[in-house]
Amino acid sequence: MDAIEARNAAGNDKYKAGDYVGARTEYSAAIDLLEEVDNAALHSRVLANRAQTYLQERDCAMALRDAAEAIALDRTNLKAHLRKIVALENLENFEAALEHVYVLLPLASSSPDHATYMPSALAAKNRLRKACSTDRAAAKAQAYDVGKLVHAKQSLRLNFAIAFPRSLPLQHWFDVTVFLANEFGLFQRGLVITPLPLVCELHTPVPGVAIEVDPSPAVLGLNGKAHFRLRFTAADVGGKSLPLVALRVSLTKGHGLNDVLPVVTLPVQLLPPTSTKWAPTEPSTPDPLGIQCCRSVYVDEIDSYITLAESPGHLGIAGKLWDSALILTTYLSRHQTVLSRKRVLEVGSGLGLVGMVCARLGAAAVTLTDMDEVVPMLQYNLQLNALEAIASAAPLCWGTSSSHLSPPFEVVVMSDVVYDPAGYAPLVQTLLDVTTPSTTILMAHRSRHPQEQDFFQLLRASFDTETIPLQGVWDHESRMTDVQLLRLSRHA
């Protein structure tokens, strides 16, 4: 038993240091040892720990498997219940996630640790009630199999499996694992048909600072993963204060996957070289936003990146970038007169990509909106992109008063907002509250729910809809061609 606890403790230490792959290796070793021991509670605890490493890597299917097995072994394992809920939510199985919240609530309320777990359970309940179907039968009839969640038209993005430390000495080699996945965090063999070289560079160039990679170049394998190490170097350090830097990893162009989104670290403080063994220190305070990494979206028309901090494990569906936003931002960047000197509102902002692109493209003022718990992430991303002077973030619950936003707006933009039948009527009401017949309304939509025609039926009672052809908007013929781009006009 001591060997099992030691492996679990080693996994915890590696997890706290951001080494999720190493942590999972330790947890897996402990689980192998537990096969020979009758200790269901400990077995459940280690499985729940391993599930969390999968969540950090956005491998939600594997996280769901481990969490479910942990619960089967020990129904009182509240962490396992929470991780099952997060995995289901990230897989967009909102109905099942909400059902499991109602399993968790009585367990959490009677637990000695209720003060720790009840707030998370209640927040998940409120979030999922807005994101799940009112017609349970229709929702359960929808297939959530891998064929539904992984298909060729989805965009692909790189992700870090191992979180970067907040500081790193110069000359110190750091192990990196990168993996390729779609918007759900899933990967299917066959997406990569030949090894692909990666580019590792500073997200913002810093004079005198360079990156060395071993092996060089790092290569993404047929399994969608790359393992390498890197270090930062700097010339003439002397007594100078060292800068904050961020690493960007992208695929080399010209290999048939030019539209894969790069991944970027959070800012890393460089430290002077050290001759002693160095290990990252655990942050003195936890990150309240649960940020894992940043998404980097290049906008050709402004020759610049928009950087988006992501937190799917903390905010669920609002904590990651969805494909429709990429289509809408591309359209806006090629039709900038729509935004010029206009007052713009983004509805259901999530990470805020569309609204921030509007701010960079000449809008007079932009307001990004989402639920209360999402607003701090929006504010962080505005600060990350130095857009606070033009754009702001505010809460907006659809169907409730929008007077604090000072409507109406000249332009309203939204993407991937039609996923919950309970939100259809409130969303239409909000659109009525913030627009006039002269408002330009642009919407990007990917079909995600069997009842979505109910939304469009409600919408057409007050708005005309026009489909904007993707030809000339989106250059990648095989990616995201199932996304619809719509222009809405309010009836006079």
Q: Regarding predicted confidence, which is higher, 267 or 392?
A: 392
Predicted local confidence at residue 156, as pLDDT? 86
pLDDT in tens, 444-483: 998 877 788 899 999 999 999 999 988 767 665 556 678 8
pTM passes above 0.75? no
Predicted local confidence at residue 49, as pLDDT? 95
CA dihedral (234, 239, 240, 244) in degrees, to 10, reads 60
Average of per-residue pLDDT across 102-112 = 91
Buried b (16+ CB within 10 A) or exposed e, 314-339: bbbbbbbbbbbbbbbbbbbbeeeebb
User: Confidence band (pLDDT; 50, 70, 90) for 348?
Assistant: very high
Residue pair 158/178 in contact by the 8 Å Cβ criterion: yes
Predicted local confidence at residue 71, as pLDDT? 95
> Residue 138: pLDDT above 60?
no
**3-class secondary-structure state, position 411:** strand
User: Confidence band (pLDDT; 50, 70, 90) for 144?
Assistant: very low
Mean pLDDT of all residues belonging to the chain = 87
Average of per-residue pLDDT across 390-405 = 97
Q: What six digits make up the tokens of 243?
A: 């800068």
Average of per-residue pLDDT across 87-110 = 86
Beta 440-445 vs 196-202: how paired, if at all? unpaired
Predicted local confidence at residue 145, as pLDDT? 39
Residue listed under structure tokens 């990509």: 353
User: Confidence band (pLDDT; 50, 70, 90) for 143?
Assistant: very low
User: Confidence band (pLDDT; 50, 70, 90) for 37?
Assistant: confident
Average of per-residue pLDDT across 29-51 = 92
Residue pair 20/56 in contact by the 8 Å Cβ criterion: yes
Domains of the chain: 1-146 (1.25.40.10), 157-271 (2.60.40.10), 293-490 (3.40.50.150)
Predicted local confidence at residue 476, as pLDDT? 59
Average of per-residue pLDDT across 245-252 = 94
* Residue from 218, 219, 176, 215 nearest 196 by CA: 219
Stretch among 15-29, 60-74, 122-136, 388-402 having the lowest mean pLDDT: 122-136
User: Confidence band (pLDDT; 50, 70, 90) for 237?
Assistant: low
Predicted local confidence at residue 358, as pLDDT? 98
Distance CA 140, CA 211 (A): 49
